[in-house]
Amino acid sequence: MNPILTFVVILIGFYGIATSKNIIKSVFCLTIIESGIILLFLNLGNYEGGAIPILSNGQIDTIVDPLPQALMITTIVIGSTVTALSLMLCIKLFHHYGSIDWAKILGREDLS
């Protein structure tokens, strides 16, 4: 996969955050940015013709570095936890303010 496509995914997430008035949409846009960053790191850690480290038959020069893959698995787990916590905070904000609109919660109704 081309790294430029991963930058496009990240930019789509940033555009969504900049234009969303809804807190839940902002949380999902952050998740899109996180997915783009994960794809970027996996693209940078891979090279064409590289083999999986476990299945290599003694060919040390063609092994793909497993460290970015292990770090990105950890990032996925932490990211899903942060997303779940953010959505729970959205529920609490809705119960407290009666809305999930950024302008109403921040007290700036003139922005909407």
For residue 9, CA distances in Å to 20, 66, 108 come to 16, 24, 30
The predicted structure's pLDDT at residue 71: 92
Is the whole-model pTM more than 0.75?
yes
The predicted structure's pLDDT at residue 7: 93
Q: Contact, 68 vs 42, CB < 8 A? A: yes
The predicted structure's pLDDT at residue 108: 72
Domains recognised in the chain with CATH numbers: 3-46+64-106 (1.10.287.3510)
The full 3-state SS of 59-110, as one line of letters, equals CHHHECCCHHHHHHHHHHHHHHHHHHHHHHHHHHHHHHHCCCEHHHHHCCHH
Cα four-point dihedral sign 97, 100, 105, 107: negative
The predicted structure's pLDDT at residue 72: 93
Residue 22 bridge partners (DSSP): 101
Q: Over its length of 112 residues, how does the chain's per-residue pLDDT go in tens digits?
A: 688 899 999 999 999 999 999 999 999 999 999 999 999 998 888 777 777 777 556 656 677 778 888 899 999 999 999 999 999 999 999 999 999 998 888 887 665 5
Residue 101 bridge partners (DSSP): 22
